[in-house]
Structures are given as structure tokens and as C-alpha cells.
Amino acid sequence: MRRLFRSVQGWPFYRKLAFLSLGFFVLIFGAFFHYSTSPSFCRSCHIMEPYYQAWKTSKHNFVSCVDCHNLPGMAGKLRGKWEAMTQFAKFLTDQYGSKPFAEIDDASCLQSACHNTRLLQGKETFKKGILFDHVPHLTETRRGIKLRCTSCHSQIVIGTHIEVTEGTCFLCHFKGRAGERGEAPLGGCPSCHLPPEKEIQVGGVKVNHRQFIGQKGVPCGRCHMDTTAGEGNVTQDRCFNCHNQPEKLERFSDYQTLHLNHITRRKVECERCHEEIRHSAVTSMTAAPEHNCSSCHQGMHSAPGELYQGRGARGVEEMSDPMFKADVDCVGCHVVPKRGVAQEAPAGQTFTASRLSCVSCHGTKYDGYLATFTPQMDRMLSYLERRLRRVEAQLAKAPRTGTGTREGFRLARDARHNWNLVFWGRGVHNPHYALAALRTARDYLEPAERALGLAPPPGELPAGFSRESCALVCHAGLPMPEEAATPGGTLPHRRHARSVQCSSCHQVSPHEKQPARVNADCDGCHHGRSIQQASSCEACHRDQAIFYHGTLKELPEGVQPSANIMESTVDCLGCHDPSQPGKTSQKVSARCVACHEESYAALLQDWMAPSSEARILLVRAQRLEARHGRRPSQEGARALALLSEACHLASIVVAARSAHNAELAEVLVKKAGERLQQAEALLGRP
């Protein structure tokens, strides 16, 4: 030391000054380095004041900030200093946030002289008798997630420092565990709460928890209902608080990746993303309990719901009921109170469906639908039940090793499944699907009966099993129309229904998915036969026949209908040949040339022209009528009357085809045009 002092004495002045400056700098730097590791230095930044006060009153107030916030070892300290410098730079440049984010690694908590023996201490008691064991939480995965110390110990609540956040416990143990009959927490209630040793008095009644829970095994939820509030859900809008990268936001539903990055790799509090779940035990009632019906009556409407949606039956394609597609809810039909006003207060109320439900929406024509369909469905169910019991009884006696027996079991099981769906789901919730399910069940039973050597049961087969049962099962309760409009004209519907099967005219095979359509061509039934008399044509084509004969009624004043000039000598078969394929105008044109000269082929086109004019007038009149339908003035009312008359005259020509009476068609088209012009003048249109 003396040698050093003597050598320094011989140095020039500038060297001495440099040496002293270096020593002073080292001394100041060392002092500042030591001071920068103290909590008081952290407090020098005003945004850290709440955290400093929380630390000062916490159980860790004897531990320096850097002991936890920096990783153990020199490398951890240097990295901590670098991060501190970046925070200092942000402070100087006014780029800092008022709520800083800090991570504490498990290595800091479990380092020597801290909590390194925590995993060996086993279970401990937390707060009011809550049991907790660090070992499974830190060494095993919870819900497939690797937890960290700070997963539970955090500072969500300002004023507490690295304290256990109970909301994290509730979120993990209760999310998705609530059922209709109470909560079923992860690990069960006894994993956290031991039953009280002493008797507890509740509402004047003494309760011995050990007797109920320990001896009788009564679940806690029998008494403690509604112990949680909140679902703990995650909404995507919370992601925008931290992220704006589309590639990250697209992974919102990736459960494993989100928890790996936010929980295992980073210290992000669960409540930053999840909504809160609160938990407390209700020990007294202030009012009668009010629960959803499904708390006790579980799955009571699952079969009607599946049937209404058109799914669940085996061997049947899904087909929703039309009212389901129209968004008609249960309350759309269940509108009739089951109990009167006097019984409603003590017994509650149930709303049922009845004929009034049908009539209120569809009118009186549906008044008899339920009364017709329900008995038919009951007969089908009763018939199938008898056959099912026979097959099931025979299968119970048969050995289960044979191939035929195994197949019989499968077929009987599928048939019973469909029967149960329709029986408990009430077939009226989806008539088409219910009929298809029962018909398929019958198809399953027939091979099963053959395999077991059972003869078909005696008795008449219910009408619903026939695919030609439209008029007996569904439409028997609906009014039968006298006539029906078809592409070829007016059809005498009632006459056909008495002698012709529905599928002869209607495409009923896709009827479950769309209304039954009338076949566009009647040739298969009518024109394919050898027609001897024109009267058979006029039975269907009455509009054309009346126009041809000039027997029209309800014509405007001054219009005298007259028959076609050929009416006395030529009937329908004189111009039409139903047995020949091809376009009607072409076939008739060929007939004209066969009797007359070539020029009559062009004349036919002239006779057809009024039909085209009538269509144009009809469209114009209908548009004006729709546009001015609510005109209140007298001129408007007169104009609407004229438009209605114009539509009527034009419709006659369009429906009857002007070629059947060209002279009369020209008169009617002319009158329709005059009425349209008069209406346009009254409405102020050119």
C-alpha cells in the first residue's frame, strides 16, 4: 500500500487527477448500483407508488424487489439491470404506461432461502379452512395447463402484493362445471373444504355436516345450491387490449396454444381474458327457491325437439318440420292453458296445444287436422308395439351367437329406437318425419321376423304405413277442394280423389321437404288413352270449351259473346291430336294444313296474337292496380274499378287461348285496352 502511495506521489498532476476521478466514479457507481437494488429506488418513479405501498404492507416487505423480479445469479441481475435501463429510457421519453407489466419466474420463488422447501410441506390451510397442496398444482398439469407460481399469486387487486387471487381458483375449479342440479367443481368440494367438525345452526336447525357428508355420503349440492355466479367466458374483444395482429387473433379458439403462451410461458392473469366467477356458500334462504324446470325434469323435451328438427331416427333422412324452418317456437302452438285461473296460483300453469292452435294461424280449414292425424298415429304406434314385443320376446329366448340372431337384435333395436322417438316425441311435431320413422321401423321388423321364423301378425295394416295414405292420415281432416288449378287448366279435384291415387297427379315423394306439386302433364292418364269424344277433353279444359262455344258470362255491357265459326262442325279432336307428341301450336298447324291450304298455317298465328296482347294488358293493369290500390279519391275508386274490369277481360283471353275464338278474343282485348286507357286518364298517366 505504501509503495502504491509513494508511486502515486511521483505521478504528474493530471495522472493523479485521473486516478482520483476514476476512484470517485467507481465509488459513486458502486453506491448507485447498491441503491438501485433497493425498493426505495423503485419508488422514485411515481407510477410505482401503489406497488411500493402494497409491498411495504405485505409478507414480503423484508425481501428486496430485485430478489424476486430478477432471476437468481449474476446473469439474472445483469438482465434485470438492462430491463431497468429500458424502463428508465421509456420514462425519460414519456413512453411508459401507468400499469407496468412484470414477470416473476418460478426459479425466483423456489430459490434457496425462499420457498425452496414449499413442495415438501404438503397440504396447508388457506384463509377460512381451505385446503391447498402445492405439489399437484406445480408438478402436474391442471386441465391440461402447466401452472406457475404467479398463476395463483398475483396482484390483480391493487393494494395486495403477490397474494393469492381467489378468482383464479374459482375460474379453474368451476368453469364449465355447473349443471342443472348444482355445481360439480373440479376435484369435488372436499378437496378444498373439509366438513365442519362442530354442529352449525342454520335457521334454528342444527346441522351436523360430518353425519351427512362423511357417514351418509350426501353431496354438498343437495343443500348448497347456486354457490357460483358468472360463467368465466372469454370474449374476443378482450384480445384487442393487447393484440392487433390478425394471425394471432385468428387463433382465438386454439385453447392449448393460448394457455401455453399466456399461462405457462408468460405471467398473464386469468382475469385479463376470462370473465369473473364468484363463489360463496349460501347458508340461509330469504325466499322460496326458484329453479329452472330442467333442474329436476331433465331431457323431458329432447324427443319432441329432435322430432321437430327432423333428426334422430335411424334409417331416415333428416327433414325438419316446415314450421321449424319458419322459426315457429314451442309457444307458437302451445297456447291453451291446462289449468283454470283458480288452480293456476297453487299448481302453476302448463300450456298445451289443441285444435285452437291450428285454427288460430291456419284458419278453420285445419280445425279437424289434430282429431284425424293423432288417432292414425296412435294406431300405427300400437300396431308396431305389438310386433316389437313379439320380436323382443323371441330374441330374449334365442342364443346370441348366431349371425341371424345378431342381425335380429340390431334390427329390433333400431325399430325400437324409432318407435320411442315418435312415441315420446309426439308425431304431430313433425308428421312427415314421424310417418317415415314408423314406416322404416316396420321395414326393420319384417326381416327380423323372417329370421326368427315369425309369421306376420293378423289384422289389418294401419293406413299410415301405406305411402298412398295422404287422404286417410293427414288430409282427411282438411277440406277437399272441389277444383284445383293446374298448368293445363282447372281440375275437378274431388272427382279425381274418389277414384285416382294422389301420386297419380301429385309428386308426393319429396312431399316431406316441399309441398306436393301437381304433375305438369296429364298425358300419362288422359292423353295416353284412345279419346273418342270431345266431351272428355272439355271435362278438364273447360275455360277453352266455354270460350270456343261462346257461352261466357259476366261480360261488360255491349259485349255479346258468339261461338267460334267452326263450332257447329269441328270439335276438339278435329284440331287436336292428343296422342301425338310435340308442341300444341305445331300439331294444330299441321291439322289446319291437312284440311285447308298452306295459308291457314299463318292464319293460326294471327288467331294466337290476341293472347299475347292480353298478357301485356294484364301486366300493365295489375301494376297500376298494385300501385294505386289505396287511392282514396272518387277518381281513384273509379280507376280501380276500370282496372279490375280490364284484368278480368284480359285474364279470360289468357286462360282460354285466343285461337279458340279469335273474333271474341279481339273484342275482349279491345275492351280491356279501353278500360285501361280510361283508368290511366283518371290516374293522371298518359
Print the SS3 string covering 15-79. Answer: HHHHHHHHHHHHHHHHHHHHHHCCHHHHHCCHHHHHHHHHHHCCCCCCCCHHHHHCCCCHHHHHH
Q: Does residue 462 sit in helix, strand or coil?
A: coil
Q: Assign residue 183 a region (left: φ > 0; alpha: ψ between -120 and 50; beta: otherwise).
A: beta
| pLDDT tens per residue across span 461-498 | 887 887 666 766 667 666 777 777 766 566 777 777 76
Q: What is the pLDDT of residues 400-418, one digit of tens each?
A: 666 667 888 889 999 999 9
Stretch 315-333: mean pLDDT, rounded? 84
User: How many CB atoms neighbour CB 331 within 10 A?
Assistant: 8
Q: What average pLDDT score do residues 616-636 get?
A: 76
Give yes or no for residue 308 having a pLDDT over 80: yes
Output the CA–CA distances (angstroms, integers) from residue 2 to 5, 6, 53, in the order listed.
5, 6, 50
Cα separation, 502 vs 472, in Å, equals 11
Q: Which of 117-121, 276-280, 436-440, 564-568 is the least confident region? A: 117-121
Block residue for cell numbers 309457444: 331
Residue 125 cell numbers, joined: 390451510
- In order, the DSSP letters of 133-180 are EHHHHHHSEETTEE--HHHHEE--STT-SSEE-HHHHHHHHHTT-EET
Give pTM, 2 decimals. 0.51
Contact (Cβ atoms closer than 8 angstroms) between residue 659 and residue 604: yes
Average pLDDT over residues 629-639: 69
Tell me how far CA of residue 68 lies from CA of 42, 156, 233, in angstroms: 13, 18, 32
Pick from 133, 285, 129, 125: nearest CA to 195:
129
Confidence of residue 202 (pLDDT cuts 50, 70, 90): confident
- Residue position matching grid coordinates 407489466: 101
Measured CA to CA, the distance from residue 67 to residue 99 in angstroms comes to 21
Q: Say how far apart CA 85 and CA 149 lie, in whole Å.
A: 26
Q: Which helix (H) or strand (E) holds 602?
A: helix 599-627
Q: What are phi and psi of 484, to 5 degrees?
A: -140, 140
Based on its alpha-carbon atoms, the radius of gyration of the chain, rounded to whole angstroms, reads: 45
Backbone angles phi, psi at 153, to 5 degrees: -90, 110
pLDDT bin (cut points 50, 70, 90) of residue 527 is: low
What DSSP element (H or E) covers 516? none
Q: Which one, of 407, 368, 416, 408, lies nearest residue 389 by Cα?
A: 416
Residue 457 φ then ψ, to 5°: -70, 150
What percent helix, strand, coil does the chain show, rounded to 5? 55, 5, 40
Residue 203: the pLDDT is 64
Q: pLDDT-derived band of residue 520, with 50, 70 and 90 as boundaries?
A: very low
What is the mean pLDDT of the segment spanning 112-134?
76
Please count the residues of the chain: 686
* Residue position matching grid coordinates 272428355: 536
Give the integer Cα–Cα distance in Å for 369 and 520: 28
Rounded distance between C-alpha atoms, residue 117 and residue 83, angstroms:
30
Which amino acid belongs to residue 333?
A: C
Residue 423 pLDDT level (bands cut at 50, 70, 90)? very high
| 455 vs 216, residue with greater confidence | 455
pLDDT tens-digit readout, 351-395? 888 888 888 777 787 888 888 888 888 999 999 999 999 999 988
519 pLDDT more than 90: no
- 3-state class (DSSP) for residue 218: coil
What is the rounded average pLDDT for all residues in the chain?
78
Q: Is the pLDDT of residue 659 over 70?
A: yes
pLDDT of 224 strictly over 50? yes
Q: Are 477 and 368 in contact (CB under 8 A)?
A: yes
Q: 97-111, 289-303, 524-538 — which is least confidently predicted?
A: 524-538
- So what's the pLDDT on residue 414? 94
- Identify whether the C-beta of residue 237 lies closer than 8 Å to the C-beta of residue 192: no
